[in-house]
């Protein structure tokens, strides 16, 4: 992925800072590295608002004193099912305009929120537990959600949220290039920011202490093996952000609730923008569920 100049400068700054702090305190260096890990990149240029968003109702939820803002498109149908769009890291809801238009056309009620630290929402930091709790708050305030369509980090957060939801066998989860293994994301971080083994160990301990869970817990692969919901998992073989090598072992397993749709040549972001992907997702969402949801 090609980085912008501002991103390269920020990375250079963190490299020097973490290296210097690490010489004195691996623990403090690990905290700085985690801060970088959880800081989404925000462009100074405001994105153009797609026309469909002018037709939405403004909605929000509160997460630990942070206001998370979103959009709601209600349906004229009396028994409409609700679908949530969950974007990825350093992204925002506007990018899923075509999904929203398609779902509205088919009679679904649609919700889309900018995650904490993203888009029009407050906050500066995001990690999978904050995002998971955001989705659970949306479920509590606007649900029950029939389906979630989630990309990248949103996929990990949605999978973790589904573990806490009731009646998941009657729901649907679409994972588009999900952040399959947090372990891999951490390895990618330390490829960009080389650190000593002591800092790596302190980082892992910091995450474990913060979450009360081992890093292996933050795994989409772990969740789908036990999830009762119907899952459509879409991934591209050439994805360099959420790499396909984390997905490959699952393809030889029997996971009754999960269907895989593998593409080639679309990478991490183009895969959700592709019309054929969108059509496949819409067909999955519209197909009969395992039970009567409403």
The predicted structure's pLDDT at residue 37 = 92
Average pLDDT per block of 10 residues along the chain, 294 residues long: 64 82 89 92 84 97 95 91 96 96 96 96 95 97 96 98 92 97 94 91 94 94 94 96 95 92 96 95 90 55
Give CA angle at 159 (156, 160), nearest 5°. 85
For residue 288, give the H/E element and its range: none
Of the candidates 120, 74, 75, the one whose C-alpha atom is nearest the C-alpha of residue 93 is 120
The predicted structure's pLDDT at residue 78 = 81
CA 161 – CA 132 distance, rounded (Å): 5
Q: Which two tokens stand for residue 200?
A: 């790596």
The predicted structure's pLDDT at residue 175 = 98
Residues 6+ away with beta carbon under 8 Å from 291:
167, 169, 170
**What's the Cα-to-Cα distance from 244 to each of 105, 178, 255, rounded to whole Å?**
33, 10, 17
The predicted structure's pLDDT at residue 22 = 79
SS3 state at 91 = coil
The predicted structure's pLDDT at residue 105 = 95
- Helix, strand, coil percentages for the chain (3-state, nearest 5): 45, 15, 35
């Amino acid at each position: 992925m090609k980085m912008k100049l501002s991103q390269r400068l920020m990375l250079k700054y963190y490299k020097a800072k973490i290296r210097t702090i690490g010489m004195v305190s691996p623990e403090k260096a690990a905290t700085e590295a985690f801060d970088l890990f959880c800081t989404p990149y925000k462009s100074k240029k405001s994105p153009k608002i797609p026309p469909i968003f002018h037709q939405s109702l403004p909605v929000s939820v509160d997460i630990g004193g942070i206001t998370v803002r979103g959009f709601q498109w209600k349906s004229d149908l009396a028994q409409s099912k609700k679908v949530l769009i969950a974007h990825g890291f350093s992204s925002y809801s506007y990018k899923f305009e075509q999904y929203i238009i398609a779902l509205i056309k088919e009679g679904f009620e649609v919700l889309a929120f900018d995650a904490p630290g993203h888009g029009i929402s407050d906050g500066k930091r995001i990690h999978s537990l904050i995002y998971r709790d955001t989705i659970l708050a949306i479920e509590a305030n606007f649900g029950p959600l029939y389906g979630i369509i989630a990309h990248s980090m949103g996929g990990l957060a949605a999978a973790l949220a589904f573990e806490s939801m009731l009646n998941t066998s009657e729901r649907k989860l679409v994972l588009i290039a999900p952040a399959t293994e947090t372990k891999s994301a951490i390895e990618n971080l330390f490829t960009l920011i080389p650190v000593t083994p002591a800092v790596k160990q302190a980082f892992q301990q910091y995450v474990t202490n913060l979450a009360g869970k081992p890093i292996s817990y933050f795994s989409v692969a772990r969740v789908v093996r036990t999830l009762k919901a119907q899952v459509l998992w879409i991934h591209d073989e050439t994805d360099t952000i959420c790499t396909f090598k984390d997905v490959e072992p699952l393809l030889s397993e029997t996971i009754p609730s999960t269907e895989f749709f593998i593409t080639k040549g679309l990478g991490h972001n183009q895969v959700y923008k592709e019309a054929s992907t969108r059509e496949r997702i819409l067909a999955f969402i519209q197909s009969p569920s395992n039970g009567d949801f409403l």
